[in-house]
Amino acid sequence: MAPDAISLAETALVQKKLRLLMELRRAGIGDARVLGAIEKTPREKFVSSAFEDQAYENLALPIGQGQTVSQPYVVALMTEKLELGERHNALEIGTGSGYQTAVLARLCRRVFSVERHRELLGDAERRFGELRLRNIVCRLGDGTKGWPEQAPYDRVIITAAAPEVPPTLIGGLALGGILVAPVGDDHRDQQLIRIRRHDQGFSTEDLGLVRFVPLVAGLPRRAGGQASTKT
Ligand code: SAH
């Protein structure tokens, strides 16, 4: 592309981003820190070039391995409901493209993020490096088991849906901690919930309907790897 063409494409993306930010405000996202983090995070870098021009549409987009990056409104809503502070450490289950991770990383001290697909995690970590986001630590693994070595967490976010929140993740919440997660069956509308840990126990709130890919226990089988052969 000629330099002029590049800057034209960039200008178009900036305009689309500003439109999206207005749309998020209209939809009720009022936290200026959250909107600022979304403004600073280039969503076009978290999708393949084929979807770049849709990066600032309020749409979920494919990221490979049958997974999707959530629509910006849902990322903004979940981030806002987490009430992140600068000193918080957060656990994220489902790194995916790394977009939600990058938004969180601008708002808290450290993000620990777990992903079960090696390929997605590799791409996400490359993006964190390019964007110089140095307060993100990732792990390949089954997030339903949490990341006990770093617990307790001030904040926990799960970006894939299960019929119930894995108890290990609730148990890993610090006192005063908040967990936000979609809960429900595959193929149905799921309820976004927020759980708070108090002195006396836990309280739960419903935050509305969402649709996420499923939270899947275990790691995917590697092609040509440990898959057993039938004889
Ligand atoms: N937050 C992501 C959204 C990814 S979609 C983003 O901004 O792009 C949900 C992700 O959860 C997928 O990448 C999927 O592979 C991952 N996932 C599903 N079950 C998981 C599990 N048990 N442990 C870790 N990651 C899981």
- pLDDT reported for residue 185: 86
Question: Which of 115, 128, 139 has most ligand 1 atoms within 8 Å of CB, for mutation?
Answer: 115
Nearest to 107 by CA among 139, 79, 69: 79
- pLDDT reported for residue 226: 47
Q: What is the pLDDT of residues 24-58, one digit of tens each?
A: 999 999 999 999 999 999 999 999 999 999 999 99
Mean predicted confidence (pLDDT) in 214-229: 72
Please tell me the least confidently modeled range out of 4-13, 104-113, 125-134, 139-148: 4-13
Mean pLDDT over the full length of the chain: 93
Task: Kindly tell me if the per-residue pLDDT of 229 is higher than 70.
Answer: no
- pLDDT reported for residue 230: 36
Task: Beginning with the edge strand found earlier in the chain, give each strand of the sheet holding 201-210 in spatial order.
Answer: 136-140, 110-115, 89-93, 153-158, 173-183, 190-198, 201-210
- pLDDT reported for residue 149: 97
Contact predicate 146/169, CB 8 Å: yes
* DSSP letters spanning 175-190: EEEEEEEEES-TTS-E
* DSSP letters spanning 109-171: SEEEEEES-HHHHHHHHHHHHHTT--SEEEEES-GGG--GGG--EEEEEE-SBBSS--HHHHH
Pocket of ligand 1 (CB under 6 A): 63, 67-70, 93-94, 96-97, 99-100, 114-117, 120, 142-144, 159-160, 213, 215-217
The domains found in the chain, sorted by start residue, are 3-210 (3.40.50.150)
Mean predicted confidence (pLDDT) in 14-19: 96
Q: What is the pLDDT of residues 54-92, one digit of tens each?
A: 999 999 999 999 999 999 999 999 999 999 999 999 999
Contact predicate 51/132, CB 8 Å: no
Ligand 1 midpoint to CA 87 (Å): 25
Which pTM value belongs to this model? 0.94
Task: Kindly tell me if the per-residue pLDDT of 160 is higher than 50.
Answer: yes
Please give the backbone phi and psi of residue 228, each rounded to the nearest 5 degrees, phi first. -80, 145
The Cβ of residue 25 has, within 10 Å, a number of other Cβ atoms equal to: 13
Nearest to 181 by CA among 100, 120, 117, 123: 100
